[in-house]
Amino acid sequence: MSDEVFVLVLAGVSVFAGAVVQGAVGFGLGLVAAPVITMLVPSVMPGAIQVVNVILPLFTLLAEWRRVDWRGLGAALLGRLPGTFLGGMVVLYVSTRALGVLVGVMVLAAVALTARAAAVPRNPATLVGAGFVSGITGTATGIGGPPMALVYQDAKGPQIRATLAMFFFLSAAQSLAVLAFLDRLPARAVTFGATLIPCLIAGFLVSGPLRRYLDGGRVRAGILVVAALSALVLITRSTVG
């Protein structure tokens, strides 16, 4: 097996696993796949992960689009737009390591607080803030789900997945546009991401049983676990390199 095929297989497995997680919980593709692809082929990041990020939500929306919280989505997107441009500036001028550690610590603190107390209130201020932070980290690192997921953790499973799916679809499209505008979206990144789409589809199809299991009153726990893992991945990747 050639090195290129080996790299593609490993990247495909990570996208498959990430699609299983996101298909069940509502987010997590970036958590699993972004660190692996970054280690394997750093030159295609963050563009490659944004290509798969823009495709996966469409499958969730096909099944659950009626459950989208449009009002909350609008507030989150209002914060996401400036966050996307700031994330683009991070790609150009700022070390993503410092950003990764900072965001990772913030997410871990939020998980610890919400695990022991009431959920984060879902209001225009928290939604705009979550969208803003997600825009920065999603564009710069490919991992932008935890802030939004923490705000929606007390919602029902279908509403969480549908709202996050619409948010991630529009967010990934924004990130791709900004990266292209800043000349940080090489053709190789787009091609690499496109080749991973079959693995993404397979992972989403496999996520069905896990999705039904979590919908039985276990969605909040699943979100807190995935958010904590996201934070640990960000911190580890940012400190180790």
Dump pLDDT digits (tens) for 121-144: 899 999 999 999 988 888 887 778
Length of the chain: 241
Ramachandran angles phi, psi of 81, nearest 5°: -60, -55
User: What's the pLDDT score for residue 62?
Assistant: 92
Predicted pLDDT at 117: 55
pLDDT at 93: 80
pLDDT of res. 82 = 94
* Alpha carbon distances (Å) from 190 to 115, 153, 187, 195: 38, 32, 5, 9
Q: Residue 99: what pLDDT?
A: 67
Measured between its terminal Cα atoms, the distance across the chain in Å is 27
What per-residue confidence (pLDDT) applies to 115?
Answer: 67
Question: Tokens at residue 189, please?
Answer: 């990144």
pLDDT of residue 237: 74
C-beta separation of 210 from 69 below 8 A: no
Which residue's structure tokens are 């825009």? 135
**What are the pLDDT digits (tens) for 154-181?**
888 889 899 999 999 998 998 899 899 9
Q: Report how far residue 110's alpha carbon sits from residue 65's, in angstroms, rounded to the nearest whole number.
A: 28
Residue 228, both tokens: 């904590």
Q: What is the DSSP letter of 152?
A: T
What pLDDT shows up at residue 220?
A: 72
CA distances from 206 to 91, 169, 200, 203 (A): 34, 20, 10, 5
Q: Which residues of the chain have pLDDT under 50?
A: none
User: What gap in Å lies between CA 58 and CA 2, rounded to an integer?
Assistant: 33
Q: What burial class does residue 117 get, using C-beta atoms within 10 Å of its C-beta: 0-12 exposed, 13-18 middle, 19+ buried?
A: exposed
State the pLDDT at residue 113: 63
Whole-angstrom distance, CA of residue 174 vs CA of residue 193: 16
